[in-house]
Chains A and B, each alone.
Chain A
Amino acid sequence: MHPYSKADARAFWSRSVTRAFDAANLIPGGEPLIRRNDRVISAGSCFASNLVPYLEREGFVYHRTEKRNPSLSKAPGENLGYDSFSAAYGNVYTARQMLQLFRRACGEFVPKEDRWLSGDTIVDPFRPGLRYRARSSQEFDLLTAQHLRLTRQAFEEATVLIFTLGLTEGWVSSEDGAAYPACPGVIAGTFDSRRHIFLNQGVSDVVSDLDALIAGLRGINPALRLILTVSPVPLVATATEQHVLHATIYSKSVLRVAAEEISRRHANVRYFPAYEIVTGPQAPEAFFMPDRRNVSEDAVRTVMTAFISHCEQAGADRQREAVSPASSSHSVEFLADRITAAECDEAMLDEAR
């Protein structure tokens, strides 16, 4: 007898990958990932935003603290991912960026380079793609303060945070280490090699950042549970001198190892294997689009089916809760519109008086 004699079928490649592969079996049983009464928030790279519609369709509460005011819904939506997550932080690609977001939200870090002037608008270097920019420093300060307050509120009120790690590469400020979501000059701002330096995190860097993040989160929300995932989406480009494929595998490997270490080290932190489901040798070619970078809808569906199978089953009443109530704002808006239209017609009557 030896240890493999007693091992479960899922420990053997031939029995659980070559044959009878089921993505749901990658996750050990136990407590549900998400419970019916959880308030879920999330952050991460582009892949992370794919998860939200699935969660909501299954009747889970995706907790949003910063939402577009419904009475202004006729205007175009925000750019990129700013409307996609619990607050308007947009895509968060690195552990460093996530830790920074937390620290800024808690007032623990104020970046020195915190705004860029662009014509008659002010750009947020940490949300450079925002469509609706501030027109003055005063407005910028107000909007940023509100955003960070609502971000902190999301961290405080959530019961589960799903964080998808995307990258190890990033650009930071040489002055204070502030992490930019995009290299300055790509979306907005101007690149300055003296102020903006390249950082490619290793395992210890990512682990250190996640440790600090978790410690900070525990300080304001001790019961918060974390689910870590690694995005399967390869890098768009690398700033190393390596081939982008080489750089991608390095990044994803670092993130995967760091996620494993963190989940082993901390109670209430679990790792969900979205990365393995999409990129493992068992995955069909169709899990990536022809560009071999973007993940297909089939892949997302497979990941989420596996994820949901390990969540507490959502009942019908929960699905009803998840449906947005008819907005009272729209009714009031209709009323206002009818009154102004009626008064224009009234003006006709007035001429006759």
Chain B
Amino acid sequence: MANERIIVAGHSHTVCMKVPLKSPDGSPQEVVIRDGIVGLTGCWPRDREYWSRLYEWSGVGPIFLSWMGNQHKSYFLFEPEPAFDYLCARRPDLSLEGLADIVPESLIREFFKPSMAGLEAVLKNLKARGASATLLCPPPPKGDRRILSERISREGYFIRAAKDLNIHPQHVRVTDPNILLKLWTTMQEVMEEAASEHGFDMLLPPAESLTDIGFLKEEYWHHDVTHANAMYGDAVLDAIIRKVG
């Protein structure tokens, strides 16, 4: 067992912190990220063995857990028909899309809750083992619809997937980034509540990585649609070190 104090573990948003998504043989393995910080990689998708290893490390040092974080894009990256919008309680400054169907935010919260079931289980197990754990807020969405559309349209997996689903790529539109930001905010709120129920808190994205409105600044973008880059990862690691003290 590594003797580093801080542990970074979880899903794909750990990659920007130099935690490989998958270990060579799929078994749980520690990876040194920085002095005093180790990452836990393993099988992808994460399996029972991975989480068991994390639970074993509960007494080693503070755990920083990345959990999913792309649900808002998994479901709503592309504008649904009919489009919807809502008033986000935490972001009343974000205006409503004129012609969209207005839905209650409580419905959006309920929509995201099932994706927290696994998180609840992991947090419960960590708490039962006396772990010190912090949930890492996933990076916020990227705010430039045009750039996102261009990147997606060039991606082979998008073209293949669209063909499989009989969708003409020209006929899908990336969702209004303001709505994606609201969805991310609501999802974050639901995650935060899940953490809080088990006595854990959440580490928000580093302030320097955010635009005035709260999108991820372009210099922190990974070249894909969903992830942040190594510079973001470094900023998060710095924030982790500041939090641990």
Which residues of A approach B to under 8 Å, CB–CB?
69-72, 74-76, 121, 131-136, 138-139, 142-143, 146, 327-329, 331-348, 350-351
Q: Which of B201-224 contact A (CB under 8 A)?
A: 222, 224
| Contacting residues, chain A, for B15 (C-beta < 8 A) | 347, 350-351
22 A-B interface contacts by CB (under 8 A): A69-B101, A71-B84, A74-B114, A76-B110, A131-B110, A132-B103, A135-B105, A139-B87, A139-B105, A332-B172, A333-B78, A335-B77, A337-B75, A339-B77, A339-B152, A340-B225, A341-B74, A342-B155, A346-B157, A347-B12, A347-B222, A348-B21
Question: Closest A-chain residue to B20, C-beta based?
Answer: A351
- Give the A-B contact count at a CB cut-off of 8 A: 142
Distance to closest chain B CB from A345 (angstroms): 8
Which residues of B approach A to under 8 Å, CB–CB?
11-12, 15, 20-22, 44, 70, 73-82, 84, 86-87, 89, 92, 96, 101-108, 110-111, 114, 152, 155, 157-158, 161-162, 165-167, 172, 222, 224-227
- Let me know if A332 and B224 touch, CB within 8 A: no
With beta carbons under 8 angstroms apart, the residue of A139, A329, A339, A344 that contacts B155 is: A339
- Let me know if B157 and A339 touch, CB within 8 A: yes
- Give Cα distance in the complex from A133 to B105, angstroms: 8
Main secondary structure of the interface of B (DSSP, over half): loop
- Give Cα distance in the complex from A217 to B3, angstroms: 77
Further contacts, 17 of them, CB under 8 A, given A71-B84, A347-B21:
A69-B80, A69-B82, A69-B101, A71-B75, A75-B107, A75-B110, A331-B167, A332-B78, A335-B167, A336-B75, A338-B157, A339-B77, A343-B70, A343-B157, A343-B226, A347-B227, A351-B20
| Contacting residues, chain A, for B108 (C-beta < 8 A) | 72
- Let me know if A143 and B102 touch, CB within 8 A: yes
| Contacting residues, chain A, for B165 (C-beta < 8 A) | 331, 334-335, 338
- Give Cα distance in the complex from A74 to B107, angstroms: 10
Question: Closest A-chain residue to B108, C-beta based?
Answer: A72
